A and B are shown apart, each in its own frame.
Chain A
Amino acid sequence: MTLKTLSLEQKHVDQGARMAAFAGFNMPLQYSSVKNEVLAVRNEVGVFDVSHMGEFFVEGKDAHAFIDHIITNDFRNAGDLKAVYSPLCRDDGTVIDDLIAYKLGDQKVLICVNAGNIDKDWNWISKQTEEFDIELTNRSESYSLLAIQGPKSEAILKKINILPKKEFPYYSILETKHNGKELILARTGYTGEDGFEVFCPEDYATTLWDLLMAEKVIPCGLASRDVLRIEAGYPLYGHEIHDGVTPLDSALKWTVKLDKEKFVGKTALSTYQRKLRLIKIILDKGIPREGYEIVLENDKVIGKVTSGTMSVVLGQGVALAHVNPELFSKETEIFVNIRNKKYRANFTSKAFVSGGHK
């Protein structure tokens, strides 16, 4: 299989990025060091080239109604220019993908989907359109996406004149122009920090990247992005959520709005009893990794780690894990089996690192 290339690939290589295949794309994994990149985003500002992500547009009279039909979260009642995070489910409630739907206008919605699921999502979504007056287009190939994240991201984007003067709240979107080029600017991200995502035409990515580099924004790769999202407690498709689970198995009950009149998966999810519970654990010692077993004192296996890492901020191992809800309560003493040795795991209901997003 030939890997797809980012329009900024040469920039990444020139800046010393270690490249690796991810979701069919040749992606920057890390530049200087994972630790430096994580700390740049937590304390200053970093930029990720996430142009592999997919962009679909839904336009037409029924655009809002259509999105509300295919996703489990409430889109109809979201304000103008707001973003909504949601799972995309099948009729049986299992998760096809998770996405962000952006309300660009009365008749225009942008949905941003995971790179590895672009074809799967497209096949599913384009089959749901029958009763709706909409036009659906896949513009994944024509957009680049740069995520500028960290407490100083707002100041930097103001300095290079991308941010509008007016109020631009967290989880919202707007269409704007920069040097005559049309951009879509969102105050979203995947790091737990304040930050922005800029959807721009492929040929403008280089200009924008150079502007950010001139402002000493730190280039960050997928490795630090993964650490940041685990520290923030965010799920990642293919790990915490996948084809075999429903949102209710993965701590996403808040995104399933059963009071909506109708949506794909509602009937199944209305009566669904979760088979798994997604928990956050922090270790005194040792680093939990994906696939490691969660065990009780008596060695009984009650689940497994879905994502784990050393937290750069805490200096401790942290993980998201799927456990059997019948064998776990927050008082249960649990351990992670690391190379046949039990390491105590402490349950926490909060994000490991509470970022400063607004």
Chain B
Amino acid sequence: MAHQTPDHLKYTIEHEWALLEDDVLTLGITDFAQSSLGDIVFMELPDVDTKIGKGESFGVVESIKSVSDLYSPVTGTIIESNSDLVETPEQCNTAPYKSWLIKVKLADVSEIDTLLSVTDYHKHCEEA
């Protein structure tokens, strides 16, 4: 099954997408992730001003039958958290690339070098 992977985004091995604008990284979950999870019914996101470290869990996404942690690929401070998703988490199923989760102000912009390109992410999905 073909999953959408917009070219202008970067990706993580945890099946998140990332968009860099200046020193702010916007994160969401990929089409592959939402499809694997199935019907998303619950979302827990951090408060604004929370500090997160690279590799740390910043929230939780739950489908009917599963609970998955959300991991940050970077170090920084949460400057926005998408509270709409807490109310209507199913948006992540219907429009994964419009349903951003958090915006992180990066402590070190060079950390984005560890993100995957579309090509590398495709390879990662094929191996999954």
Q: Judging by beta carbons under 8 Å apart, are A289 and B39 in contact?
A: no
In the complex, the 9 A-B pairs of residues with the closest C-beta atoms, listed nearest first: A35-B39, A310-B41, A34-B64, A310-B64, A223-B65, A287-B42, A287-B62, A33-B39, A34-B38
- Judge if B13 is at the interface, Cβ distance under 8 Å: no
- Alpha-carbon distance between A311 and B64 when the two chains are bound, in angstroms: 8
B3-51, CB < 8 A from A? 38-39, 41-42, 44
Q: Judging by beta carbons under 8 Å apart, are A289 and B67 in contact?
A: yes
Name the residue on B nearest A36 (C-beta): B39
Q: Judging by beta carbons under 8 Å apart, are B64 and A312 in contact?
A: yes
Interface size on B, residues (CB 8 A): 11
Interface residues of A (CB under 8 A from B): 30, 33-35, 223, 226-227, 286-287, 289, 309-310, 312, 315, 339
Q: Judging by beta carbons under 8 Å apart, are A226 and B65 in contact?
A: yes
B54-98, CB < 8 A from A? 60, 62-65, 67
A selection of 16 A-B contacts at a CB cut-off of 8 Å is A30-B38, A34-B38, A34-B39, A35-B38, A35-B39, A223-B38, A223-B65, A226-B65, A227-B64, A286-B42, A289-B67, A309-B64, A310-B42, A310-B62, A310-B64, A339-B60
Q: Judging by beta carbons under 8 Å apart, are B41 and A287 in contact?
A: yes
Q: Judging by beta carbons under 8 Å apart, are A34 and B67 in contact?
A: no
| Most A-side CB within 10 Å, residue of B39, B42, B65 | B65
- Alpha-carbon distance between A94 and B124 when the two chains are bound, in angstroms: 48
Beyond A33-B39, A289-B67, A315-B41: 17 further Cβ-contacts under 8 Å? Answer: A30-B38, A33-B38, A34-B38, A34-B63, A34-B64, A35-B38, A35-B39, A223-B64, A223-B65, A227-B64, A227-B65, A286-B42, A287-B41, A287-B62, A310-B42, A310-B62, A339-B44
On chain A, the residues within 8 Å of B38 by CB distance are 30, 33-35, 223
- Alpha-carbon distance between A290 and B85 when the two chains are bound, in angstroms: 25
Name the residue on B nearest A38 (C-beta): B64
- Alpha-carbon distance between A5 and B65 when the two chains are bound, in angstroms: 24
CB distance from B113 to the nearest CB of A (A): 32
- Alpha-carbon distance between A140 and B62 when the two chains are bound, in angstroms: 36
Name the residue on B nearest A30 (C-beta): B38
On chain A, the residues within 8 Å of B44 by CB distance are 339
The contact string, 1 if C-beta is below 8 Å from chain A, for chain B 99-115, is: 00000000000000000
Name the residue on B nearest A32 (C-beta): B38
- Alpha-carbon distance between A226 and B63 when the two chains are bound, in angstroms: 14
CB distance from A39 to the nearest CB of B (A): 11
- Alpha-carbon distance between A213 and B12 when the two chains are bound, in angstroms: 40
On chain A, the residues within 8 Å of B67 by CB distance are 287, 289
On chain A, the residues within 8 Å of B63 by CB distance are 34
CB distance from A261 to the nearest CB of B (A): 44
- Alpha-carbon distance between A223 and B60 when the two chains are bound, in angstroms: 20
On chain B, the residues within 8 Å of A309 by CB distance are 64-65
Q: Judging by beta carbons under 8 Å apart, are A34 and B65 in contact?
A: yes
Name the residue on A nearest B35 (C-beta): A33
CB distance from A41 to the nearest CB of B (A): 14
